[in-house]
Amino acid sequence: MFKGRLVPALRRTNLAWQPSFYDHRLRSADDLLPVFLYIYLNPYREKLINPGLAKWPGYYCASEDWAWFGQLTNGELPFPEWLR
């Protein structure tokens, strides 16, 4: 519904949804780590930022989530083996 309602506004500005894009609803029983890793690592995998030099400035993680996810990083940077 969300995407469908935005289509007219996107068309007015010559924008469109990415082809083959789909939404995924997270349920309470879902494992969150793969989702966090995908979101967190994607800019590094796409080489938008050097993984050894800087934290992705556009990434935000709520403090309660960072409490468990931050322990899985190397000082807020991804572990090199994650990028293989």
pTM: 0.59
* Structure token digits, residue 25: 């609803």
> What b/e readout covers 1-28, taking b as 16+ CB neighbours within 10 angstroms?
eeeeeeeeeeeeeeeeeeeeeeeeeeee
pLDDT on residue 61: 83
**pLDDT greater than 90 at residue 12:** yes
For residue 41, pLDDT over 80 is answered with: yes
